[in-house]
Amino acid sequence: MTADASRVRLDLNSPEFQAVFFGLEAAELRQVVASLRRLCELDWAAIYRHTGFQWEAIKHFRAPNGAGVYSLRLSQKVRALAFRDGHFLRFLSLHPDHDSAYRR
């Protein structure tokens, strides 16, 4: 497997994710975009070891494909809900208020 093949691919097509993403203020948007850029530079093994994203399983919520859903930190204020689907990290939603990520 080539290095590119093991890299994380991002799916940001969720309407719920996009509604919040496009409404972020400029400073917050820059931080989130920088985190997304870092994510797609990593492979899956590196993401699982990376502590900066503060991955947390959301046990009461399952992805459409039955996979586990995780909360990850994209900035000081913003968390996202996402799940792994093959090589893709599919984002479900974006939460400028950290606590709202867990009430889903």
Q: What is the domain-level CATH number for residue 91?
A: 3.30.2310.20
- Which among 59, 60, 54 has a CA at the least distance from the CA of 76? 54
**Structure confidence by residue, pLDDT tens digits, 22-43:** 999 999 999 999 999 999 999 9
Total domains in the fold of the chain: 1
Q: Looking at the domain assignment, is residue 98 inside a domain?
A: yes
**For 46-51, what is the mean pLDDT?**
88
- pLDDT at residue 1 is higher than 50: no
Query: What is the domain range of residue 12?
Result: 8-102
Cα separation of 77 and 73, whole Å?
8
* Domain-located, residue 22: yes
Tell whether 72 is covered by a domain: yes
Confidence at 88, pLDDT banded by 50, 70, 90: very high
The confidence score (pLDDT) of residue 2 equals 46
Buried-state track 61-100, b at ≥16 Cβ within 10 A, e below 16: bebeeeeebbbbbbbebbbbbbbbeeeebbbbbbbbeeee
Residue 3 lies in a domain: no
Q: What percent of the chain has pLDDT over 70?
A: 88
1 assigned to some structural domain: no
Per the domain annotation, does 86 fall within a domain? yes
17 part of a folded domain: yes
pLDDT for position 101: 54
Is residue 2 in a domain?
no
pLDDT class of 4 with cuts at 50, 70, 90: low
